[in-house]
Structure 1
Amino acid sequence: MLGISIAIITYNEERALADCIRSCEDIADEIVVLDSFSTDGTEAVARAFPKVRFAQHAFDGHVEQKTRAVALCRNEWILALDADERLTPELREEIRALEPGDLDGFRVPRLTFAMGEPVRHSGWYPQRKVRLFRRSRARWAGDNPHDYVVVDGKGGDLRGDLLHHSFRDLADQATRANAFSSIQAFNLLHRGRRFSALAALVRPVVKFLEVYVYKRGFLDGFAGFTIAVNAAYATFLKFAKIYELEARIVDRPSNVRPEYRPQSQEHD
Structure 2
Amino acid sequence: MNQIKADISVIILTYNEEIHIERCIKSALKIANRICIVDSFSNDNTFLIANQFKIDFYQNKFINQANQFQWALNNCNINTEWVLKLDADEYFTDDLINEITIKLPLLPDNISGIYFNLRQYYLDKWIKFGGRYPLRLLRLWKFTKGIMEQRLMDEHIKITEGESISFKHDFIHDNLNTLTWMISKHNNYAIREAIAQLNEEFNLSVKDEFLDKKQILKNSTHRTRFFKNVIYSKRLLLFRSLLYFLYRYFILFGFLDGKEGLIYHFLQGFWYRFLVDAKIIEIKHLALKKGINIMQAIEDYSGYKIN
Band of TM-score, shorter chain = 0.7 to 0.9
Asked if 1:96 corresponds to 2:104, the answer is: no
Deviation at 1:54, TM superposition (A): 0.9
**Aligned mates of 1:238, 1:40 — CA distance in 2:** 30
Seen in structure 2, the aligned counterparts of structure 1 residues 252 and 44 have a Cα distance that, compared at 3 Å, is farther
Q: Give the corresponding residue for 1:173.
A: 182
Task: Show the 5 A alignment for 1:95-244.
Answer: 95-98=100-103, 99-102=106-109, 103-141=111-149, 143-152=151-160, 153-189=162-198, 193=202, 199-230=236-267, 231-244=269-282
| Contact 1:189 1:245 survives alignment (8 Å) | no
CA RMSD of aligned residues (A): 2.5
**Aligned mates of 1:229, 1:82 — CA distance in 2:** 24
Q: What letter is aligned with 2:68?
A: Q
Deviation at 1:22, TM superposition (A): 0.2
Q: What letter is aligned with 2:262?
A: F
| Contact 1:104 1:151 survives alignment (8 Å) | yes
Q: What letter is aligned with 2:58?
A: A
Task: Show the 5 A alignment for 1:249-268.
Answer: 251-253=300-302, 261-262=304-305, 264=307
Asked if 1:46 corresponds to 2:55, the answer is: no
5+ residue gaps, structure 2: 204-232, 290-296
**Aligned mates of 1:172, 1:54 — CA distance in 2:** 25
Seen in structure 2, the aligned counterparts of structure 1 residues 17 and 95 have a Cα distance that, compared at 3 Å, is same
Question: Residues 163-209 of structure 1, C-alpha deviation per residue, up to 9 Å, x if partnerless?
Answer: 11135343333333222112212444466659x9x833311112212
| Contact 2:238 2:278 survives alignment (8 Å) | no
Q: Secondary structure, in 3 states, of the residue corresponding to 1:168? A: coil
Q: Secondary structure, in 3 states, of the residue corresponding to 2:157? A: strand
Q: What letter is aligned with 1:101?
A: P
Q: TM-score, normalised by structure 2?
A: 0.75
Deviation at 1:80, TM superposition (A): 0.9
Q: Give the corresponding residue for 2:7.
A: 3
Deviation at 1:68, TM superposition (A): 1.9
Deviation at 1:141, TM superposition (A): 2.3
Asked if 1:30 corresponds to 2:34, the answer is: yes
| Contact 1:186 1:252 survives alignment (8 Å) | no
Question: Residues 104-127 of structure 1, C-alpha deviation per residue, up to 9 Å, x if partnerless?
Answer: 111111111012201111222110
Question: Residues 83-124 of structure 1, C-alpha deviation per residue, up to 9 Å, x if partnerless?
Answer: 000111111121112222221111111111012201111222
Q: Give the corresponding residue for 1:70.
A: 73
Q: TM-score, normalised by structure 1?
A: 0.85
| Contact 1:112 1:164 survives alignment (8 Å) | yes
**Aligned mates of 1:215, 1:68 — CA distance in 2:** 38
Q: Which has the higher contact order (CA 8 A, sep 6+)?
A: 1
Q: What letter is aligned with 1:77?
A: W
**Aligned mates of 1:150, 1:136 — CA distance in 2:** 11
Question: Residues 54-82 of structure 1, C-alpha deviation per residue, up to 9 Å, x if partnerless?
Answer: 11111112122122222322212011100
Seen in structure 2, the aligned counterparts of structure 1 residues 143 and 213 have a Cα distance that, compared at 3 Å, is farther
Q: What letter is aligned with 1:59?
A: F
Seen in structure 2, the aligned counterparts of structure 1 residues 145 and 167 have a Cα distance that, compared at 3 Å, is farther
Rg comparison, structure with higher value: 2
Seen in structure 2, the aligned counterparts of structure 1 residues 262 and 42 have a Cα distance that, compared at 3 Å, is farther
Seen in structure 2, the aligned counterparts of structure 1 residues 263 and 13 have a Cα distance that, compared at 3 Å, is farther
Q: Secondary structure, in 3 states, of the residue corresponding to 2:172? A: strand
Question: Residues 239-260 of structure 1, C-alpha deviation per residue, up to 9 Å, x if partnerless?
Answer: 211233333499335xxxx7xx
- Percent identical among aligned pairs is 29
Seen in structure 2, the aligned counterparts of structure 1 residues 210 and 144 have a Cα distance that, compared at 3 Å, is farther
**Aligned mates of 1:214, 1:180 — CA distance in 2:** 26
Q: Secondary structure, in 3 states, of the residue corresponding to 1:124? A: coil
